Amino acid sequence: MIPSAARNAIADAFWSLLEQKDVDSVTVSDIAKARSITRQAFYYHFPSIADMIAYAIQRYVSDLTDRILPIHDPKEALALAFSPAADHADIILRLIRSKKYPVYPIISDAVMDNVAHVLLERRITRDLGFDAAEIAVRFYSGALLYVLFGACQQDFIHTGWMAERYLHLLRGDLLPKPQAEQSPI
């Protein structure tokens, strides 16, 4: 489906409701009431709440990626990528704890799509074959999600520190360095 102002407004209403309710408790009626539309209007734009959740997540991650792409400093770009953990940790935790909707795979797919977009845009994987590029996308995405979801469970989140740790991970700086051969003299 083509994005529209109405679809975006419905997704925005969903995000607003998540500030007060658990994702599994949000109903079509809640969303319709929040947007002052009918249930039929909701179903005109989305076949189900699950489809609307997927749209809302993809749109959020895509909008975040659009804000990240112009940033050339990797640490600054990654700090922005981790900002949802600082700004919306409670909502992220509500989403990934859903028992009703497959939210984790939706988030994971959205992040992988957008990490692939960033890697292509920045030409980071240009020298890799398809299989190696796919592995890189999965690795970068998995590491990003691991750090993001782990941070959501902390009391204090410092996105700059998270970005620095992630960059060290990607560069291999967190691995032990081999000891230089020491001469017995």
Each residue's pLDDT tens digit, 9-41: 999 999 999 999 999 999 999 999 999 999 999
Which pLDDT belongs to residue 1? 46
Which pLDDT belongs to residue 177? 60
Q: Are 17 and 34 in contact (CB under 8 A)?
A: yes
pTM: predicted TM-score of the whole model, two decimal places: 0.81
Interval 78-119: pLDDT, tens: 888 888 888 888 888 888 889 999 888 898 889 888 888 877
Interval 146-177: pLDDT, tens: 777 877 787 777 888 788 878 877 776 665 56
**What mean pLDDT is predicted for residues 47-68?**
93
Q: Are 43 and 35 in contact (CB under 8 A)?
A: no
Kindly report the CATH number that applies to the domain delimited by 5-171: 1.10.357.10
Nearest to 53 by CA among 24, 82, 32, 88: 24
Average pLDDT across the chain, whole number = 84
Which pLDDT belongs to residue 136? 78
Judge whether residue 47 has pLDDT over 90.
Answer: yes
Which pLDDT belongs to residue 174? 60
Phi and psi at 73, nearest 5°, equal -80, 115
How is residue 110 written in tokens? 């959205």
The residue type at 37: I
